[in-house]
Amino acid sequence: MVDFFSYDFYLALAPWFVFTGLSVIAVILMKLANKRRGIAIAFAVLVQMFSPDPFVEKTIAMVVSEKRAIKKQQEEDGGGKRGNKARVKKCG
């Protein structure tokens, strides 16, 4: 009976304990997110910040090309930094 509760037994169950624990945490965070609680949003921001992005180079290239396109469009419109902002004329 002592051998039944050995290290190997707990080692075999460890992934299931981790899975169950993470599932419970996910359910709790989903309930908090539905109630618009700040802790769920803060947790999501931290996870997003520290999780690796497999398409970092692709994302950076896309952002740079979008900025170039926007800058080129503004130069064609002749707006420079002001862009398409309407000018308001004061009355009185």
Could you tell me the pTM of the whole model?
A: 0.44
- 46 shares its domain with 10: yes
- 21 shares its domain with 61: no
- 46 shares its domain with 67: no
- 44 shares its domain with 25: yes
- 20 shares its domain with 37: yes
- 45 shares its domain with 60: no
- 36 shares its domain with 59: no
Task: Convert the pLDDT of each residue in 6-32 to its tens digit.
Answer: 778 888 889 999 999 999 998 988 888
Residues of the chain with pLDDT under 50: 83
pLDDT of residue 51: 81
pLDDT of residue 18: 95
- 47 shares its domain with 59: no
Domain membership of residue 72 as a residue range: 55-92
7-32: b or e for each residue (b if 16 or more CB lie within 10 Å)?
eeeeeeeeeeeeeeeeeeeeeebeee
**Rounded (5°) CA angle 86-63-83:** 10
Count of domains for the chain: 2
- Dump the DSSP string for 26-88: HHHHHHHHHTT-HHHHHHHHHHHHHS--TTHHHHHHHHHHHHHHHHHHHHHHT-TTTTTPPPP
pLDDT of residue 21: 95
